[in-house]
Each structure stands twice: as C-alpha cells, then as structure tokens.
Amino acid sequence: MTDAVAKPAPRPVAGVGWMLVTGLLFVGVTAVVKHLGGRVPPAESAFLRYFLGLVFLVPMLKGLRAARLGRRDLGLFALRGGVHTLGVILWFFAMTRIPLAEVTAMNYLSPVYITLGAALFLGERLALRRIAAVGCALVGALLILRPGVREVSPGHIAMLGTAVLFAASYLIAKVMADRVAPVVVVAMLSITVTVGLAPFAAAVWVTPTVPELCWLFLVACLATGGHFTMTLAFRAAPMTVTQPVTFLQLVWATSLGALAFGEPVDGWVVLGGVVILGSVTFITWREAVLRRRVTPGVVEQH
C-alpha cells in the first residue's frame, strides 16, 4: 500500500510559475519535432524520444525504489501509460501535417477537458469567475480554429484524439501527484510509455540517422523536464488554477512558427491569443488576491 505524500497548502503563484516553465519546454518539444519532419514514422519517433529519455531515470531510481506502490497505484500508472502512448503517437503524426500554431491551438481542448474533469471527478471547485475565464479562453481557441470554415485534415483529427487522451493522462497524473513523489510520477510515465510504444515502433521501423537521434534526445530532455515541472505545478495549486496558463503556449508557438519555420501569422490567431492571454492574466491575478485575503481559521467562499 502506498503511503500518501502529505499534501502541501495551495500556492497559486508557484503553480502558475511552474506551468509557465512547462509551457516553454513543451513548445520547445513541438519546435524540434516540427524541425525533424516526417521521414521517421510518428510511432518510431515517439518511441525513440521516450527510449532515449530513460537515461533521466538514473537519478530517479532511488526514489522509485523507495516508493511502495500498491496494486491500485500500478494500475493507474499502467492506465496512464496506455492512454498517453496513443496520445503521443497521434501528436507526432499531427506535427508532420499541420502548422505549429494549429497544433498548439488544438492542444487547448485538452486543458478544457482537464479543468472540467477535475471538477467532475476530483472534486475541485469551479467558481463562476473561473468558468467564465476558461470559457473566454475557449472562445479564443475557437477564433483560431474557425470550425466549419477551415479544412479538417487527418492532422486535425489526430489532434482531437490527442486532446482527449492527454486530458485523461493528466487527470491521472494529478491523482498520483497527491499520492507519490513527483519523480515517481515522471519515472513511471517514461517506463510505461516506452513499453507501450515499442510494438508500434517495431512495426514501422526505419533506421534513424545520427543527427535524427540527437534531435530526438533533445526532445527527450525538453519533454522530461516539462513533465517534471508540470507535476510540480499540480502539487502547488489546483488544476483549475494551473491549466488555463497553458493557453500562453499559443503566443510562443505562433512566434516560433513565424520566425523559425516561415509560417504566416494569421490575424485570427493573434486575436485569439489576446483573448486567451487576458483570461489567463485575470485568473492569475484573482487567485493571488484571494490568497492574500485568506487569514488563519477563515476560508473565503467564492
């Protein structure tokens, strides 16, 4: 039976800070995968990213061995590994088919599912102002996607599946972050996804070049760091606080796409980004204000 890790007091500002770092790291992952192109099949690229990332387990082995994982914990880790495996394959496929800004914009469906799922299944409270802010952020994402106007390609369909699967994965991560140390959450994800991807990669294997392996190792570095900082964000604050911050990735991804890959900046993308940025700023400010107002023995209802 796992000894639950003592849950610290909520720290909204720290949670937002860790999620900002997470967003930067994940945008870096997106850029490197985009740079690689599609010569190596998506399933193989995903497998090599996780396989090469196993080197980061070395400093985590002590904490992993010390964790007393029960049957329920192992089952949840296996479930997360399964859904994350499928999500990663679809994400690598989408990256070779649609622009950076579109991939990032469609990723915003995942935080919306996460925020709602945290309220429905994890008992986290959704105050009216949070619902309104998340709703505004979703409107911003819809301004970018313009459903019914833009062509729906296989890449877009893959990203729809990715959003659902990653949302499920992150909800499980939130549950486990309250039970075990962050290094255990990250280590178990690396192990289960590597195992899950192996048969898919073997079925489409293409021998990678040395430069491709180096780029994929960089992806592993950025992604592993991103999952670790994301876990720290989950432990610092509720998901209803940290998840809307991921919308800021749009600003970074759009800028990077234009500067590094020559992708045109769509005016709708800029407008949607402004709406999203305003929503995230409001949520962060309100949480900081409410935190300062809380006094010992008194909990403000909101």
The structural domains of the chain, with segments of one domain joined by +, span 12-292
Q: Confidence class of residue 51 from pLDDT cuts 50, 70 and 90?
A: very high
Q: Are 251 and 273 in contact (CB under 8 A)?
A: yes
Roughly what angle, to the nearest 10 degrees, separates helices 182-203 and 210-236?
140
Contacts of 76 (CB under 8 A, 6+ apart): 172, 175, 176
Of residues 176 and 137, which shows the higher confidence score? 176
Does the pLDDT of residue 7 top 70, yes or no?
no
Q: Are 197 and 85 in contact (CB under 8 A)?
A: yes
pLDDT in tens, 56-79: 888 777 777 777 788 888 999 999
Q: Are 179 and 19 in contact (CB under 8 A)?
A: no
pTM for this prediction: 0.72
Q: Are 208 and 40 in contact (CB under 8 A)?
A: yes
Instruction: Give me the pLDDT at residue 127, please.
Output: 75
Contacts of 257 (CB under 8 A, 6+ apart): 34, 99, 100, 101, 263
Average pLDDT, the chain: 81
Does the pLDDT of residue 192 top 90, yes or no?
yes
Instruction: Give me the pLDDT at residue 239, please.
Output: 66
Instruction: Give me the pLDDT at residue 292, please.
Output: 59
Find the mean pLDDT for residues 192-198: 95
